[in-house]
Structure 1
Amino acid sequence: MSSVAIKTPEAIRWRLSPQLRQLARSPSAVVGALLLLAVLLMAGSAGWLFPEDPLAMVAEPFLRPGADPAFPLGTDMMGRDILAGIFHGARSSLAIALAATLVSLVLGVMLGLIGGFYGGWLDAAVVRVTEFFQTVPPFLFALTIIAVIQPSLWTIALAIGLTSWPGLARLVRAETLRLRHGEMVQASISLGASDARIIARDILPNALAPILVSTSLIVATAILTESALAFMGLGDPNVASWGNMVGSGREVLRTDWYIAALPGLAILVTVLGLNLLGDGLADALDPRSRQ
């Protein structure tokens, strides 16, 4: 009787350790992780450092950075504290991006797995729906959804999520098609494993690497899309977000550039951190990079 090797948690951790070591040796991944950690600390400490409403008028308008120690980054045209807005904006911008990414992951991974695993008319339907969504520019699609419904934190996240999944679905479908005809899946089929078990145990874990890399890019795209929507006046006016701050500062960009530039810098740092982390993940999870 042949013995069956059982993968213990220690064995799984040992198998993952080369990827983690590769990730720790990647300068882009380390820098990206540090930048994201700084943004997360901003979001987590916003309520403690700035307990007041970030949309409240707390000083005279158009205070320049450094003019008043109480407001290190100055105030905007309404007398609102820019530093408090940036810290609280990290919360709302990240919340929108993460919620949109979750919607995109659920749709993209589910449809990609179904189409790639079952094939036939299901795969054809997934391909047609994906192609339809990809023919419409994602930003224009999200813009249309927001213009029809009431702009709020969660409707914006839903609109971005509904327009961000096609690329991920095609990627997961391609990985599923490759794994579907592999020896591991065929052995599970011959042993009588159910479809759900094969997908959960054999296909999805082996497709996680490209999914993780794509997730970082989806989060970055969601932040940029939310900022662009808010810049056009389609953000939630009751919430402090980086996009709303940039949008309100565009009217005085020539005379008081810092009102739009400082929250724009926060967007730049966050997106840069996500892209650097995505590059590091791609290198660490690529088998060819460890040869």
Structure 2
Amino acid sequence: MAFPDSLILSADGTGSHPRFALLRRLLRRPSALCGLVLMAAILAMAVLAHPLYPDDPLDMVAAPFLHPGTDAAFPLGSDMLGRDLAAGIFHGARISLLIGVVAALVSLVIGIGIGALSGYYGGRIDAGLMRLTELFQTIPPFLFSLAIVAILQPSIATITGAIGITAWPGLARLVRAEVLKLRHSELVEASISLGASDARIILLHILPNVLAPIVVSASILVASAILSESSLAFLGLGDPNVVSWGGMVGAGREVIRTDWYVATIPGIAILAAVLALNLLGDGLNDALNRKGQRR
């Protein structure tokens, strides 16, 4: 399988394992390092949610409106129903990451598939797939997701699916543009002359060379999915059986003037997650950029 040059050469131009070379370039960027630290903390919260808070985070376990720092057993305080905010933040990390990652995977599969087929075959296939892409782009993704969730009833599955099937058009156009550049390259022409199938050429020779923009787009898709889920939950279209950061913000908005922390703490968690993913995306964009690598 062919890898792009930006993944094979190290920062100093010497050959090395692509994963280690990429990691070294990524860690040289302070913004990317900050994003990695933030994301590691959020992942740790998700992993430790059940060991630290084994009970249902929706249980009422404390007095209502317990302010942060008042009781060591509830370091972040409690909300208007006496639910532990710390438990909600930790368990909410699991829900946000789950929805973000799965929705991004759905978008990646659809976007890469449509973009690759459109760019490789061209002609009527390209025209038809691009008309389909434009159709999806005429409807704002969030409003489209909101309509789907409202019709199908809120649940983790419907929220994830709704976000995933509405966020792919931008990625499809990006992949199509990259595939068009490679469609008539010497590598592809040689593979065709040797009798390689279209599927083999696309999967083994074209897509690996489009890996850099796909990886960067994936981090942005995860961040966008987390924001979309938080917005849906804020509007009351979240899964009522689980705790999510957006749902916590939505519940706390009614008391924000008197008990600001109920909405502010989960809001900070959302901000940290989205910031971490955007910083990682920027860092990956720089690390995978061959021009930036050679400077």
Q: Does TM, normalized by the shorter one, top 0.5?
A: yes
Count of equivalent residues:
283
Q: After superposition, where does 1:256-275 map in structure 2 within 5 Å?
A: 256-275=259-278
Question: Deviation at 1:14?
Answer: 2.9
Partner of 2:143: 140
Structure 1 residue 155 corresponds to structure 2 residue 137: no
Partner of 1:242: 245
Partner of 1:29: 32
Question: Deviation at 1:116?
Answer: 0.6
CA distances 1:55-82 after superposition (whole Å, capped 9, x unpaired)? 0000110000011111011000000000
Partner of 2:58: 55
Partner of 1:178: 181
Question: Deviation at 1:27?
Answer: 1.1
Aligned-partner Cα distance in 1 for 2:191–2:111: 25
CA distances 1:170-190 after superposition (whole Å, capped 9, x unpaired)? 001111111111111111111
Question: Deviation at 1:18?
Answer: 3.5
Partner of 1:232: 235
Aligned-partner Cα distance in 1 for 2:58–2:96: 15
Aligned-partner Cα distance in 1 for 2:47–2:144: 32
Matched AA of 2:81: M
Q: After superposition, where does 1:99-110 map in structure 2 within 5 Å?
A: 99-110=102-113
Give the alignment partner of residue 65 of structure 1, picking from 41, 64, 68.
68
CA distances 1:214-258 after superposition (whole Å, capped 9, x unpaired)? 000000000000000000000011101101101100111111110
Give the alignment partner of residue 285 of structure 1, picking from 271, 277, 288.
288
Partner of 2:3: none
Normalising by structure 1, we get a TM-score of: 0.94
Aligned-partner Cα distance in 2 for 1:131–1:54: 42
Matched AA of 1:168: L
Structure 1 residue 202 corresponds to structure 2 residue 221: no
Matched AA of 2:101: L
Matched AA of 2:292: S
Aligned-partner Cα distance in 1 for 2:259–2:106: 38
Partner of 1:82: 85
Question: Deviation at 1:20?
Answer: 2.9
Partner of 2:125: 122
Aligned-partner Cα distance in 1 for 2:18–2:238: 44
Partner of 2:47: 44
Aligned-partner Cα distance in 2 for 1:14–1:102: 26
CA distances 1:145-192 after superposition (whole Å, capped 9, x unpaired)? 011011001110000001100000000111111111111111111111
Normalising by structure 2, we get a TM-score of: 0.93
Unaligned runs of 5+ in 1: 1-9
Identity %: 63
Of residues 187-196 and 273-282 in structure 1, the stretch that sits farther from structure 2 once superposed is 187-196
Q: Residues 84 and 16 of structure 1: is their aligned pair in 2 closer, same or farther, counting only changes over 3 Å?
A: closer
Question: Deviation at 1:28?
Answer: 1.3
Matched AA of 1:172: V
Aligned-partner Cα distance in 1 for 2:178–2:86: 44
